[in-house]
Amino acid sequence: MRQIVYISSLCQNVVADIPAILATARRRNAGQLVTGMLFFDGRRFLHAIEGAAGPVQQIFTRIQGDPRHQSILILSDRGIKRREFGVEAMAYRPPAESDLPTIARMAILSAHASPAARDTFDAFMRMRRAA
């Protein structure tokens, strides 16, 4: 299995239709047995994708070509023995929620992640609180 964790920014003057993005991602991911977690704060995406190497690469390639994303930075790209961020086709944190439930949700979903993956999400959460 492969896991890619990346961060990107929403292009200026672009509106992200998150419900539509999630519906499409959940449908596609479920069909390819890919799971993941998405955090979007209204400006930045932090996303983990896990599954078989081929489908994960296809999804990430599609994301790289998506005109809504800019400044895509891969934080981690590695082989994993088991899913580290749960079995949901796309777990999501909407920006309208308070940070405390979000931090709790991230902690639950990342409880079995590698220390490096947990650190990535923790750093993003600290960045979010500081913003």
Residue 88 CA to residue 100 CA, distance in Å, equals 21
Comparing CA positions, the residue from 21, 33, 27 lying closest to residue 83 is 33
Residue 10 CA to residue 33 CA, distance in Å, equals 26
How many separate domains does the chain show? 1
Question: Do 45 and 39 contact (CB within 8 A), yes or no?
Answer: yes
Residue 34 CA to residue 59 CA, distance in Å, equals 9
- Provide the residue range defining the domain that includes 75: 2-130
* CATH code for the domain in which residue 26 is found: 3.30.70.100
Other CB atoms within 10 Å distance of the CB of residue 47: 23
Q: How far is CA 114 from the centre of its chain?
A: 15
Residue 75 CA to residue 6 CA, distance in Å, equals 5
pLDDT (0 to 100) of residue 46: 84
Question: Do 38 and 22 contact (CB within 8 A), yes or no?
Answer: yes
In the chain (131 residues long), the average pLDDT of successive 10-residue segments reads 90 89 91 90 86 97 93 87 86 62 60 69 64 54
